[in-house]
Structure formats: C-alpha cells, structure tokens
C-alpha cells in the first residue's frame, strides 16, 4: 500500500461538482479519450425454448447451433447503435443508444432485428481491454516502471471489517445433512443472536491494508498501491497484483482481480479513470497518446473535449 498523499496532485485538478466529467477526471491535460466498455449481445430463437426431450432428439449440429444462440458475445457501441438506428458519438449514453422508453429497463433491450443487447459493465475493465490500453500508456511516460493504482474501497469483498456476517458468501454443495443444518442455523444467526459480538471478517486485502489510510476523492475513498504501469500491459496482470481474489480461488473460482479505478505513472504524464458508475474509461494525456488509443482496432474509443458532459442526460443527439 502506498502513501495516499501521492494522489494529492490529482485531487487538486478535480471540479467540486459533477456537471462535467471533471468531477472524477482531472483537468489540465492536452487531450482526453473515452474508451467504451464492450456491451453484450445474443440472438434469441424465433420459437420457444425446447424441452430437454426435444433437445435430446435434435441432431448434434442443430442442438449446438441453438445453444450458441443463447451465448452472450461482446458487442461494440457502434454495432449496437446500428441495430437500434441511433448514432454513436463521444457523448453518447447507453440508454439513448438502445432507445429506452421513459421508466424502461435500459440494461437489457431487444433490437428491431430480434437480438438482445445487455448494457456494458460499469466501473470495471476486462483484463485484456486494460492490457490493450496500457500498451499505449507505457509508450507515453518517462516512468513506465513506477506509478500508482487506486481501487475504490466499496467493491464487495475487497476489505475486511468488524461485523457479524461476511460481505460475501460462497455456496458449498454437499449431501451431508449435518452440514446443511449448520448452514440453516448460520443463516438465522444475525436475527437470533442480535447481541453477538462482531468479529473480524476477512476480505481480499489483509487486515493491515483494510484498516490503513485511504486516498480520498470527492465521494469516493480508495486504497492506493504503488504499481508499475508496464505490468498492466500483460493480460495476466491479475496473477501478480496484491488484490488478486485468492479467497475466491480457494472456493473454485478462476483467478480474478478488480481493475484499477485510477492508474497513473510517477511523472503524471497521463491518468486512466474507470469511475465506478461509468460504462466507459477515460484516459487523459498527450494528444499523441489519445490518437494512438483511438486508432487501436482492439478498442472502441473516441476523443473527448475538455469539459465534456457525460452525465445521464447528456446525449442530445439520440433524444
């Protein structure tokens, strides 16, 4: 864990309010890029879901084709806009792109062509996407091997704390009736034992870090780590960061780690911001860096002007 004062320069460049992106993205950089997080799409069958018996009677090729149609695939914002007859532009907002009616559910929408689109992840980058961005970041700093990564402290399971129940639970399947009876009892403990003394509930991070100082930004507190920007150019960065989710792995989940909420090099040449409520990542840096990111075919990115409004109702094009 690093000294939170290392982020003071960034906090000084933020606006007091959230009228523009600069409530979370620092001002004063030559250029900015918005990297759109991938959405997801699936093709819906034109008839009802078959029963198990019907599936078993199908030829293997037909059965597999049907199953494949239910699998989510990544979808770009541009493809989504084309499906809904809307326009992708730097200030586009997802609910406008998918033509969400008033009080409608913008998270899942069916396009006129019958495909189902699911909204992008907010506040998180897939390891491969971060690696693609980081490959450009390291080319535009004099300190690619020294820098900082900040994690929003509110991610479930990240920090340990004093309490009665853990912040997350892992399901265990067993035929042992005694084990099931224990689970049933523990599920009622918070209600039946209201005076039970809180104990330390372990998180992904150690108790020392969990109880340590925070890097505070308006409305958000973060755990700050020293981190080499170069390390994130490898998609396997999840295996080497100190916040790797080892408790999850112990319960059978594949290796995983939260992507940084903020990342910057020691020379402050750029900053990457993946705000928890944003469905895009903002990169601030030199004009050359922003041009390289926007030209990378592995990414869907557009340049942003300083002072850009990315609030919920900012998309005037698709109203």
């999840």: which residue's tokens?
238
- DSSP calls for 55-83: HHHS-HHHHHHHHHTTS-EEE-HHHHHHH
Q: What is the pLDDT of residue 173?
A: 45
For 173-183, b/e burial (b = at least 16 CB within 10 A) is eeeeeeeeeee
Q: What is the pLDDT of residue 308?
A: 97
Statement: residue 190 has pLDDT above 60: no
* pLDDT tens string 201-243: 788 888 888 888 999 999 899 999 999 999 999 999 999 999 9
pTM here is 0.83
Confidence of residue 135 (pLDDT cuts 50, 70, 90): very high
Answer yes or no: are the C-beta atoms of 223 and 261 closer than 8 Å.
no
Statement: residue 68 has pLDDT above 80: no
Query: How large is the average pLDDT for residues 156-181?
Result: 63
Query: Which tokens go with 13?
Result: 């460049």
């037909």: which residue's tokens?
62
Q: What is the pLDDT of residue 152?
A: 95
Share the mean pLDDT of the chain.
Answer: 87
How far is residue 307's CA from residue 15's CA, in Å, rounded to a whole number? 10
Beta strands (DSSP E) in the chain are: 31-36, 39-43, 73-75, 108-110, 115-118, 147-152, 161-163, 199-201, 215-217, 220-226, 262-265, 271-273, 280-285, 301-304
How far is residue 258's CA from residue 152's CA, in Å, rounded to a whole number? 9
Of 29-38, 57-66, 121-130, 224-233, the poorest mean pLDDT is in 57-66
The sign of the CA dihedral 310, 316, 317, 319 is: positive
* 102 Cβ neighbours under 8 A, 6+ residues apart: none
* pLDDT tens string 251-286: 899 999 999 999 999 999 999 999 999 999 999 999
């Amino acid at each position: 864990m690093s000294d939170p004062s290392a982020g003071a320069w960034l906090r000084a460049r933020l606006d007091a309010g959230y009228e523009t992106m600069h409530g979370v993205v620092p001002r004063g950089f030559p250029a900015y890029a918005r990297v759109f997080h991938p959405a997801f799409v699936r093709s819906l069958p034109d008839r009802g879901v078959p029963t198990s018996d019907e599936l078993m009677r199908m030829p293997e090729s037909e059965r597999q084709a049907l199953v494949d149609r239910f699998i989510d695939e990544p979808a770009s914002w541009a493809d989504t806009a084309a499906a809904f007859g809307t326009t992708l532009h730097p200030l586009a907002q997802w609910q406008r792109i998918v033509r969400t009616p008033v009080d409608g559910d913008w998270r899942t929408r069916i396009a006129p062509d019958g495909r189902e689109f699911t909204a992008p992840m907010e506040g998180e980058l897939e390891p491969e996407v971060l690696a693609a961005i980081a490959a450009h970041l390291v080319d535009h700093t004099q300190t690619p091997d020294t820098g900082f990564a900040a994690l929003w402290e509110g991610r479930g399971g990240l920090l340990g704390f004093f309490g009665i129940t853990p912040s997350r639970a892992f399901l265990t399947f067993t035929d042992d009736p005694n084990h099931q009876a224990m689970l049933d009892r523990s599920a009622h403990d918070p209600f039946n034992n209201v005076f039970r003394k809180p104990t330390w509930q372990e998180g992904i991070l150690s108790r020392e870090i969990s109880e340590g100082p925070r890097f505070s930004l308006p409305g958000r507190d973060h755990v700050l780590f020293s981190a080499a920007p170069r390390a994130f150019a490898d998609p396997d960065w999840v295996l080497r960061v100190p916040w790797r989710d080892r408790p999850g792995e112990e319960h059978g989940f594949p290796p995983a780690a939260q992507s940084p909420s903020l990342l910057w090099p020691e020379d402050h040449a750029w900053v990457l911001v993946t705000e928890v409520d944003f469905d895009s990542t903002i990169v601030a840096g030199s004009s050359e860096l922003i041009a390289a990111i926007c030209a990378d075919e592995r990414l869907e990115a557009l340049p942003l002007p300083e002072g850009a409004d990315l609030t919920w109702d900012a998309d005037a094009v698709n109203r």
